[in-house]
Amino acid sequence: MDPTAIDPSVIESVTLGGSITAADLSIWSLFLRADLVVKLTMLILVVASFWCWAIIFEKYLRMRRLVEEASQFEDAFWSGGSLEDLYERIGGRPNDPMESLFAAAMREWRNSIARGMQVNETSQVSLQQRVEWVMGTALGREMERLEKHMFILASVGSTAPFVGLFGTVWGIMNSFQAIALSKNTSLAVVAPGIAEALFATALGLVAAIPAVVAYNKFSNDLGRYAERLQGFIGDFNAILSRQLQEKG
């Protein structure tokens, strides 16, 4: 790096000597005195942090709502009422993934009956396989929607510390070159430049830690929810098998 290309604000910050005050080490002051590259790094990390928090709040509220809606649907499903009535009530606009699985299975079931399928041992197996396949496809589609933006949490959690470290390394290199030009190595001169550089690492950790924690939590929550949907698929197939045997 060419010393003549150093940001003048960096040289100014390291030549203040004993006139440095506590206000000079405030967060805003550290940002303003930082090199352009370090500033861009800080801005990227701040934007990434806000983006992650937006995703965290959205996922938290959505998962809580999904669990409540799944419990309500299961109560209706196991209430002993007619599945046909339940399907009519849900209609073509299911509100949550579990209702979507149920609606997909009932459509396949109704279509098979509408085609005048004769109930025998072979057709029972064929219908069950089709219903299971339709519900499995719907499950994959719904889980793909629920996992949307999870990769952002994973990416920020894994890369933000390194982005902050890049800003720190760049800032320290810039600061040392400015110190060399000022020919003053006192702690009062070194401290501001080092603080500006380390601030980038701090921002990287601020962005990464919540992203990692949230990713692990939501991955666990989505895994449990997927198991709940898989259990519902098994329960529905058991009910279908029993009703087909009764008709057969």
Domain boundaries, the chain: 3-247
pLDDT > 70 fraction of the chain, expressed in percent and rounded:
78
Question: pTM value?
Answer: 0.78
- Choice among 8-17, 59-68, 174-183, 205-214 with the minimum mean pLDDT: 8-17
- Residue 124's pLDDT band (cuts 50, 70, 90): low
- 8 Å CB contact between 34 and 213: no
- Choice among 46-55, 85-94, 96-105, 239-248 with the minimum mean pLDDT: 239-248
Dist CA 168 CA 225 (whole Å): 41
Name the nearest CA neighbour of 58 among 189, 162, 153, 183. Answer: 153
Residue type, 191: A
Query: How many CA atoms does the CB half-sphere of 72 hold within 13 Å?
Result: 12
Q: What is the mean pLDDT of residues 120-130?
A: 65
Q: What is the mean pLDDT of residues 204-208?
A: 94
